Amino acid sequence: MASSKLHPDSAILIIGAGVFGLSTALWLARGGYKNVTVVDMQDTAASGYNPDTVDSASADINKIIRFSYGAEIDYQRLAMQAAAEWEDWNNQFAATTDASGLPADLRPDGAGLGERKLWRNCGMLRMSDGYQLSEVELRTLENMEKEGIREFQFRTDDPIDIDRAEKRQWGHKMDPCHRQERFGVHKAVLDSTAGFVVAYKSCSWAKYLAEKAGVKFILDPLRGKVIDISRSGDAVHEETPLVKTADGGGWTPSLLPEVSQLLETTAGSVVTIRVPQERQDLWERYSASNFPVITWRMDEGNGIYSFPRDEEGIVKIGYRKTKWTNYDDVNGLRISVPKTAHVTEKKETRIPITALEGIKGKLTHSWPEYIMTNLPDLAEFGLHSTKLCWYTDSIDNSFLVDYVPGRPGVAVCSGGSGHGFKFLPILGREVVKILEGQGESTPYGKLWGWRGADMTKGRNGLEEGEDGPRVLAKHRMASPQDWKI
């Protein structure tokens, strides 16, 4: 349906039960839309979005919740609004006595659940590698000052902030890597409002809320897999797209080729280390009570981040310096496509050796290595796993939420660009406004609207194409023999 035609009984089909689909479905149902269906080619719910079986950006063990957005104050504001919702979800989740519709590990009597929390306010330490904070960091602090939240940020080089951190019980997270002692310098800012969410539980919770609000789900490799979206071609239904699923015909991953000018599929490199519970010293040290989320050199947009250990002792570390591409033929176009189990036979869990060395450390490497520099006491365990996690990046790292030009009734809601998860409880509120045609009058409608791509300029790496250096096939991939640190 076109924006003007959207009415409470409109049949709305959402393709994909990840963060963007779930949040949109939830807010449509809350807004009174009665005929909303989410389809997905993976049965995401069967395993409770277990990252071992569900291959998507959203199905993960944890994701960062942060408010630091440099000069991008609209994202900072939306993240703050999302934080209030996360708090509310935490309370609702902890209080729910309803077991129906929840996967086993979210039920009130769920075994091995650990804390009944979706989001954990463990703080986030934004560490710089050098002797000064970056420009992006300074803009972040300025914008936080503007919004009245600067007092929750603690600079490690400011005696007033250090004192405030101590008084508010955050002192122990100011320099958990002992950088001042080891390197004589530690330039960082601890954000005491940030932390992480347990991603798979949060997706299950959002699906549960959406279902309760009346959303229907078809999560099935055949009936839920959309292979084509085309116009109906008849005058009566001219604005009703036809959606073809895999149980009715051929197969193509290219649903909307027109977005390939604006969005690119890229892969992030993620590794884990397992801390054994018998090592009580490290088990305690890396718990969320004692260890913050850390980002390192992220102000340059290309650093490394890590989480405290989870309930199983898993410490996740991600590498953002380079996001990889994987080019393939799609309907006559060469575009980057994910190498995930449900898209290709050639699922890839290995990561390029360059990323691995950047994360774990290698003396001859020019990139400063994360584990050996910052978490050397974990080195003895070696790596536990590696994974490629597929992003949809936009040309400017802003989301893309709008009707697709020339395709009545079809909207795109994507382009998470590595930072969409934190908005799960609130993203759909803004998406619905855009779908209802109010996008022009909202900051997010303007930010996320369909935009022309200047083909003569850099487009977040998309312009590199297949000749660029990020193509996975050009890299030697790490194998388990390389996991020793």
**Which residues of this chain interact with ligand FAD, rule CB under 6 A?**
15-21, 39-42, 44, 56-58, 63-64, 224-226, 255, 268, 270, 318, 342, 389-392, 414, 416, 418-422
Least separation in angstroms between residue 107's CB and ligand FAD is 23
**Closest CB to ligand FAD among 58 and 204?**
58
| Beta strand pairing call for 216-219 and 188-191 | unpaired
**Closest CB to ligand FAD among 255 and 372?**
255
Least separation in angstroms between residue 330's CB and ligand FAD is 12
Tell me how far apart the alpha carbons of residues 365 and 218 are, in angstroms, rounded to a whole number.
48
Distance of CA 385 to the CA centre of its chain: 19
**Closest CB to ligand FAD among 143 and 340?**
340
**Closest CB to ligand FAD among 297 and 422?**
422
Q: How many residues does the chain have?
A: 485
Least separation in angstroms between residue 279's CB and ligand FAD is 26
Tell me how far apart the alpha carbons of residues 109 and 106 are, in angstroms, rounded to a whole number.
8
Least separation in angstroms between residue 389's CB and ligand FAD is 3
Q: Are 479 and 353 in contact, with CB atoms under 8 Å apart?
A: no
Alpha helix stretches (DSSP H) within 8-152: 19-30, 73-95, 135-146
**Closest CB to ligand FAD among 170 and 319?**
319
Least separation in angstroms between residue 48's CB and ligand FAD is 13
Angle at 48 between CA 46 and CA 54, to 5 degrees: 80
First and final C-alpha spacing in the chain: 55
**Closest CB to ligand FAD among 265 and 374?**
265
**Closest CB to ligand FAD among 286 and 423?**
423
Read off the tokens for 368: 């400063």
* CB atoms near residue 451 (< 10 Å): 16
Least separation in angstroms between residue 105's CB and ligand FAD is 19
Least separation in angstroms between residue 360's CB and ligand FAD is 17
Q: What is the 3-state secondary structure (H, E, C) of 308-370?
A: CCCCCCEEEEEEEEEEEECEEEECCEEEECCCCCCCCCCCCCCCEHHHHHHHHCCCCCCCCCH
Phi, psi of 258 (to 5 degrees): -65, -20
